[in-house]
Amino acid sequence: MSEQTIALVTGANKGIGYEIAAGLGALGWRIGVGARDQQRRDTAVEKLRAAGTDAFGVPLDVADDASVAAAAELIRDRVGGLDVLVNNAAITGDMPQTPTTVDPATVRGVVETNVIGVIRVTNAMLPMLRGSASPRIVNMSSSVGSLTLHTTPGIDMGSLPTAYLASKTFLNAVTVQYAKELSDTGILINSGCPGYTATDLNGFQGVRTPHQGAAIAIHLATLPDDGPTGGFFNDGGTVPW
């Protein structure tokens, strides 16, 4: 590998993912723009390059084994390795999603992308990450997955989609288990919450911009070697589990 830091950001063609790619690219990193849609992926790469980022497209459907395997092979062949993985791709699933009305197929689909997709991509990229001097994995989660916040008297998190909420709780649990298994490897893996960010995921109802939402991922992707692992963070610090 070259001395240039190489990162892959999934779901990087728009919203928070794009801003993560832009923010890491501004550091002089080479960025793999992971996305399913070719047109949106190509457009994002062109826009990033126009802004000075060394970006390249990575065809990637996190819910498809063959697509993920091909993405790992592309990165290995094109740039020779990987230093940072940001698992950003996610879906909300069909509505409504109250526990009594949600279609089990919706839950299955959301978990397939938001949790199993993260496992699939992470495991495919791990051989390259193990070869990095300072490997980092960032799982984009959400405070809506915090069981502590949901069960604390006086905290009202509003009406939330059950499948999406549960997928983020599940993702946080997976993050902790990865951190335990990889504790002696130098790989730091953490969950990050972008806050209530206006994206197409929530119908642009959030109060934060995608640029603001990307900040926590950029922070966790650039942690020093003695930084935390197995944690859950937002811009304000630690988020309770």
- At residue 96, φ and ψ (nearest 5 deg) are -80, 165
- At residue 191, φ and ψ (nearest 5 deg) are -95, 140
Say how far apart CA 235 and CA 216 lie, in whole Å: 6
DSSP class per residue in 81-139: --SEEEE------SS---TTT--HHHHHHHHIIIIIHHHHHHHHHHHHHTTSSS-EEEE
Q: Catalytic pick from 18, 164, 178, 196?
A: 164
List the strands of the sheet with 237-238, edge to edge. 54-59, 30-35, 6-10, 84-87, 136-140, 188-192, 232-234, 237-238
The answer to whether 164 is a known catalytic residue is: yes
Residue 35, classed as helix, strand or coil, is strand
- Whether residue 160 contacts residue 144, with contact meaning beta carbons closer than 8 Å, is answered with yes
DSSP 200: G
Catalytic residues: 164
